[in-house]
């Protein structure tokens, strides 16, 4: 599944929550766009953002278009398998597609669960 299709599936989950499980399954086998610096592969640097509740979170995006529409063109980003992102950021909060019409906050508990079931 291409990331454009994955993003469409994610948007559909807003009106059809029963699709969320299928979305998660596809997310775990996809690559996502992360903000930060990947010049040192052994020490990835993630940019953080503030959640609506005022906590720090790591943003990630399903498509480059959504990243650019949400935050602009002048940002450093890199691609990373979503499953790897979840595994190396355990204990953190993640924001999927922040500043877009359709976003999702993943709590550390949700991330732990996704890592154990996948």
Write out pLDDT tens, residues 52-81.
Answer: 788 899 999 999 999 888 877 778 889 999
Residue 104 confidence (pLDDT)? 93
Examine the pLDDT at 107 and tell me if it is beyond 90.
yes
Examine the pLDDT at 91 and tell me if it is beyond 80.
yes
Question: 71 or 90, which is more confident?
Answer: 90
SS3 77: strand
Q: What number of other Cβ atoms are within 10 A of residue 81's Cβ?
A: 13
Enumerate the domain spans of the chain.
Answer: 31-117
Residue 57, sorted as left (phi over 0), alpha (psi -120 to 50) or beta, turns out to be: beta
Residue 118 confidence (pLDDT)? 60
Q: Which CATH architecture has domain 31-117?
A: 3-Layer(aba) Sandwich (3.40)
The first and second tokens of residue 28, run together, are: 């775990």
- What is the pTM for the complete model shown? 0.90
């Amino acid at each position: 599944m291409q990331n454009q299709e994955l993003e469409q599936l994610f948007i559909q989950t807003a009106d059809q929550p029963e699709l969320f499980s299928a979305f998660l399954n596809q997310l775990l086998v996809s690559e996502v766009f992360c903000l930060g610096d990947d010049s040192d592969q052994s020490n990835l640097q993630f940019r953080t953002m503030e959640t609506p509740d005022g906590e720090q979170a790591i943003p990630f995006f399903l498509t480059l278009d959504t990243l650019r529409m949400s935050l602009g063109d002048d940002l450093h980003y890199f691609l990373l398998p979503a499953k790897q992102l979840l595994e190396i950021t355990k204990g953190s909060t993640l924001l999927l597609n922040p500043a877009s019409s359709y976003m999702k906050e993943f709590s550390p508990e949700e991330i732990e669960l996704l890592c154990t079931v996948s």
